[in-house]
Amino acid sequence: MSFDQIAQWVDQAIEQTPVLDLHTHLYPPSFGGFNLWGVDELLTYHYLIAETIRATDIPYDKYWSMTQQQQADLIWKTLFIDRAPISEACRGVLTTLGKLGLDLSSRDLNSYRAFFKSQKPEAYLETVLKLANVRQIVMTNDALDPKEREIWLSGKPIDARFKAVLRIDPVLVGWPKVSETLSSFGYKTSGDLGSTTMSEVRRFLNEWIERMKAIYVACSLTPDWRYPDDSQTTRVINEAILPICRERNIPFAVMIGVQRQVNPQLRLAGDSVGKSDIKSLDRLCATNQKNKFMVTMLARENQHELAVTARKHRNLFLFGCWWFLNNPSLIEEMTKMRMELLGTSFTPQHSDARVLDQLIYKWDHSRKVIAKVMKEKFADLEKTGWKVTREEIDRTAKEYLGGNFERFLSLTPS
């Protein structure tokens, strides 16, 4: 088979395979204000806030006192008009606007605003899912957020394309403060994490996994995370999260390496990255073989050891180029290394989208890089004398863009 033919098959397979996006911060229109979309939300994405603050000397409190439209105007002028919008987050906004058919040569933000003003959330969701070719959106849900909790308790039906995930960072790292929040919701918890409290934490987990039909339980962990140790985090993992995830046969997703709020004045944009301890992850997977773990790590320096660790533990499901790694140069480096070490048994990407329209650019950009690496790997395969078929290319694309994850969800570790 010629390289051009292989390349054409890969491009078609990657473009035409609808994606299961296994980690996002998106919500269906029925969640009202939680569903963020439109050009002002795109421009005030926290990645672009950080880049704008860095490029100007605007006082933090002046920025935060502006309306969202004023913030978007400042970001547009600073990063798109006064400077070339060549960062990944800037390019993403333009990819999205361009794919929606807007005239980027005008550089007229108000004309773009007029387009979004004419959209309705429900119909716009269909437009975005079609353009992004996304079939399922996995959310990040916080049962401790009073507003989100109310929506879940209302029992409002949810678009079946949106799947819930119970995100539990405070339950892991927020003791004793989180015991007040839990007890305000009727759980008999106290800061001491005694046996009653631990069983009430289990009740909280069970009730909300059930209510949300959560497909996994997730948390993010700082570079200082160690397992096991004598911390409350280890106790909650061992005595509450792992037993319940095992009983329900759902994964526990650990997203490791975020250094929270290194610059609190940036608010959501104030988090950073740190190299994390791979031995803790190794022990987590090795000593809990009947649990399933989804893992992504934030530091580039952790990626090779993470891929090797995935080779050692089949209950470790490796996914995505997370956050500061979600850039073409690093997606290519990581995906190449992962294909060489793990073959087809991982999920190359998730979008982490916070604004619905971002699905359009995050998947356009990532698909191109994944396709580039697949072309190279299948061409190498062909050069051995193996006869690459369109079927195995199509099958591999389906595995990478959601099939592997669905199979992992269905597995029962022995």
Q: Which is nearer to Zn ion, 142 or 406 (CB)?
A: 142
Q: How far is the CB of 220 from Zn ion (least distance, A)?
A: 8
Q: Which is nearer to ligand HDL, 34 or 115 (CB)?
A: 34
Whole-angstrom CA distances from 115 to 40, 108, 170, 256, 267 are 12, 12, 39, 39, 29
Contacted entry of ligand HDL, Zn ion, none for residue 211, CB cut-off 5 to 8 Å set by kind: none
Half-sphere exposure of 141 (CA within 13 A, CB side): 28
Contacted entry of Zn ion, ligand HDL, none for residue 282, CB cut-off 5 to 8 Å set by kind: none
Written in H, E and C, the secondary structure of 71-113 is HHHHHHHHHHHCCCCCCHHHHHHHHHHHHCCCCCCCCCHHHHH
Q: Which is nearer to Zn ion, 22 or 373 (CB)?
A: 22
End-to-end Cα spacing for the chain: 41
Which amino acid is located at 50 in the chain? A
Q: How far is the CB of 140 from Zn ion (least distance, A)?
A: 6
Q: What are phi and psi of 136, to 5 degrees?
A: -150, 140
Residue 275 structure tokens: 């190299």
Contacted entry of Zn ion, ligand HDL, none for residue 399, CB cut-off 5 to 8 Å set by kind: none
Contacted entry of ligand HDL, Zn ion, none for residue 354, CB cut-off 5 to 8 Å set by kind: ligand HDL
**Residue count, binding to Zn ion (CB under 5 A):** 1
Contacted entry of ligand HDL, Zn ion, none for residue 153, CB cut-off 5 to 8 Å set by kind: none
| CA–CA distance, 66 with 130 (Å, rounded to integer) | 34
Q: Which is nearer to ligand HDL, 47 or 400 (CB)?
A: 47
Contacted entry of ligand HDL, Zn ion, none for residue 220, CB cut-off 5 to 8 Å set by kind: ligand HDL
| CA–CA distance, 134 with 161 (Å, rounded to integer) | 9
Contacted entry of Zn ion, ligand HDL, none for residue 268, CB cut-off 5 to 8 Å set by kind: ligand HDL
Residue 202 structure tokens: 């289990």
Contacted entry of Zn ion, ligand HDL, none for residue 291, CB cut-off 5 to 8 Å set by kind: none
- What residues form DSSP beta bridges with 278? none
* Residues within window 213-272 making contact with Zn ion, judged by CB under 5 A: none
Residue 390 structure tokens: 């369109």
Q: Which is nearer to Zn ion, 104 or 268 (CB)?
A: 268
| Residue 293 DSSP label | E
Cα–Cα nearest to 27, from 113, 156, 118: 156
Q: How far is the CB of 408 from ligand HDL (least distance, A)?
A: 19
Q: Which is nearer to Zn ion, 113 or 267 (CB)?
A: 267
Q: Which is nearer to ligand HDL, 45 or 378 (CB)?
A: 45
Q: How far is the CB of 255 from ligand HDL (least distance, A)?
A: 6
Q: Which is nearer to Zn ion, 352 or 364 (CB)?
A: 352
Residues ≥6 apart with Cβ < 8 Å to 235: 193, 198
Which spans of this chain sit near ligand HDL (rule: CB under 6 A)? Answer: 25, 140, 220, 255, 268, 271, 323, 352, 354
Helix (H) or strand (E) holding 166: strand 166-167
H-assigned helices in 253-346: 278-286, 303-312, 328-342
Q: How far is the CB of 257 from ligand HDL (least distance, A)?
A: 10
* Residues within window 344-403 making contact with Zn ion, judged by CB under 5 A: 352
Residues that bind Zn ion (CB under 5 A): 352
